Structure 1
């Protein structure tokens, strides 16, 4: 085993602080990675503060981070896809059972026995897994991803969650050139949805409650921007969308968007509001519309997403921070005071 510097939370009310952790020695199928950048996901904040205690209670100390990009330092004897010096990435998953129908279909995100990158039982060292707010990580080759060389590493790190979370439903439901696609919300997820929908050739419409986001939405690739509080503007788009991606995590009325879908069209939720939603059945019945949800993607699809990003030079818009500013970043995250993701420069750990 080896020691690694990291930042961890000791309790739900404790700030993240410097610590050292143990990382396992690579097995024959493992890849050891020096972490260069780690994106900050809102789920990191929820997990650190034990806000999902009813579903996924936090085990402390907790070291979050599942948007990991780094440089391979060592590989096991059976590893064939990576070598020392390669730029590689790790997302939300570091293992699965490999035998269930979901895994066999290449959709490990739906495995009933997954191992998440942090706060899940660690079969190697005991305790729980530790995430990317650290200087290194060791992961089975099956869950390590190749990163196109042309992508900026700081901006590429959030692709491992924000990227795949928005790419997967667009890909699964076959969004393509000439379709009309709506993106609800322009935050960490929504801004990636805009970039992907635009790159796929869709006529992309952003829905936002904030007039001050209009210019930025167009910069990111939106063809139109609709202020969702304006009922007349909303009504102009009735029955016209092929697909709507809802990336809002705050409580909101999705019945404002369902009437905008055309016949046999889809609205997909990737945000996770805290309170249950009320849905008018007539908004689905009239037009045979569907409402569904989506989460990250399997390893194969995540690699396809990274390759797509390489082809179209897509990365997340990030604000790079040192690890020492992570607690401040969490407070700003609550206020949506970031455009559009924080990316931690893990070189800052060297000064600890």
Structure 2
């Protein structure tokens, strides 16, 4: 299959009118020996897409096509690529490039590379060209940041795993979650519901944490063993020392709720943040809440190629299926999906499909 010189995409033209994405075309960076071209068939809509599209994380360039939960078929490979062949079904997450030679890359920590390039909102160091994401007909990426999708995982299921999935799975790996570990998941949404599924598959006892009782039954349906509402008066004291680990997937960084949740954690436990609020918001904590129980607070962003490959095999083995709603890609449908996500009107992840129909 011949790959066009220009790729087509749907993206933000004006950050002040971000809910009016438009069709555009762009010239990708020149093919390098390590690159692959992927014809896209599905792409998850991640919460990061909303933050990027509305300017929460800055306004570096337009047009901007978001989307970093990409599934598609390899249609062209660089002369140095040995991992893939034309016709392979692969996925791409939130990272499309790294230097490949620094100590971080050599220790399987490519996501921490100083020259890490995001699949969108990124800029290639050598050329200064911006990256465009998966709301497009093709994407060109470094083959080290593409992943073979196991045959037992369908493309729609695989898409949200490539960012949301690995972002939620990595903290469980870091904490060594196993049978009997008491895991709390704060925020029962797109990532949170996957963390519950992963933790249960690892054998953990899982507590869903949310601001009200509204998602209590839903959390149990997903697989949570227990439920805590932070809106309940005295919740921190009532459930004190009940958790070894809290994975924070929620977007609320309010002082009261965060310090209350710290009270749920046992001595020498930890809280790991995987979400980033708008740039004008900061986390406020009481240091004594950490000191008196030797609690650790950390952050975790996506995962390395090795992490992602492990997660995909884990999902295939345990037949984990995120809750997904598909929607065919078009300017109108992207707007609809974004508006619904802002309202929290999706259980729990959108996946864009219908690429061949739109990008004819």
Which TM-score bucket, shorter chain as reference? over 0.9
Residues 56-78 of structure 1: per-residue CA shift (max 9 Å, x gap): x3311111111101112222333
Instruction: Map 1:42-81 to 2 at 5 A.
Output: 42-53=47-58, 57-81=59-83
Counterpart pick for 1:266 among 267, 270, 275: 270
Aligned twin of 2:145: 143
- 1:350 aligned onto 2:358: yes
Note the residue ranges of structure 1 that are not aligned, 5 or more in a row.
Answer: none
- Structure 2: distance between partners of 1:216 and 1:240: 21
Deviation, 1:351, is 5.9
Instruction: Give the drift of 1:124.
Output: 7.4
Give the match for residue 87 of structure 2.
Answer: 85
**C-alpha distance in structure 2 between counterparts of 1:210 and 1:154, whole Å:** 30
* Comparing 15-24 and 106-115, the one that deviates more: 15-24
Q: Distance in 2 between matches of 1:93 and 1:282?
A: 37
Q: Which residue of 1 aligns with 2:261?
A: 257
1:20-169 mapped onto 2 (5 Å cutoff): 20-23=25-28, 26-53=31-58, 57-122=59-124, 127-169=129-171
Instruction: Output the CA distance in 2 between the equivalents of 1:152 and 1:235.
Output: 44
Deviation, 1:277, is: 2.5
Contact 1:11 1:49 in 2 (8 A): no
**Against the structure 1 CA distance between its residues 127 and 74, is the aligned structure 2 distance closer, same or farther, given a 3 Å change threshold?**
closer
Q: 2:284 aligns with which of 275, 278, 291?
A: 278
Equivalent-residue separation in structure 2 for 1:152 and 1:41 (angstroms): 18
SS of alignment partner, residue 214 of structure 2: helix
Partners of 2:219 and 2:356 in 1: how far apart? 32
**Taking structure 1 as reference, are residues 270 and 157 closer, same or farther at Cα in structure 2, changes over 3 Å only?**
same
Deviation at 1:206, TM superposition (A): 0.2
Residue of structure 2 equivalent to 1:326? 334
Deviations for 1:250-282, whole angstroms, at most 9, x for unmatched residues? 333211111111121111111223422221222
* Cα contact 1:6–1:349 (8 A) shared by 2: no
Given that 1:135 and 1:349 are in contact with CA atoms closer than 8 Å, whether structure 2 keeps it comes out as no
Name the Cα RMSD after superposition: 1.9
SS at match of 1:164: helix
1:185 maps to: 187
2:98–2:117 CA contact under 8 A, matched in 1? yes
Mapped contact 2:98–2:115 kept (Cα < 8 A) = yes
The 8 Å contact of residues 317 and 340 in structure 1, kept in 2 or not, is answered as yes
The residue that corresponds to 1:12 in the other structure is 15
- Counterpart of 1:247 in structure 2 is 249
Task: State the distance in 2 between where 1:273 and 1:73 align.
Answer: 37
Structure 2 contact 71–89 (Cα < 8 Å) conserved: yes
TM-score (norm 1): 0.93
Q: Distance in 2 between matches of 1:205 and 1:80?
A: 43
Q: How far apart, CA to CA, are the structure 1 residues paired with 2:109 and 2:41?
A: 27
- Residue of 305, 314, 322 corresponding to 1:299: 305
How far apart, CA to CA, are the structure 2 residues paired with 1:51 and 1:349?
31
Q: Larger deviation: 25-34 or 323-332?
A: 25-34
Cα distance in structure 2, aligned partners of 1:125 and 1:107: 24
Alignment size in residue pairs: 349
Offset at residue 197 of structure 1 (A):
0.7
C-alpha deviation, 1:11, in angstroms: 1.3
Question: Secondary structure at 1:278's aligned position in 2?
Answer: coil
Deviations 1:190-224 (A, max 9, x none): 11111111111000000112323122211211111
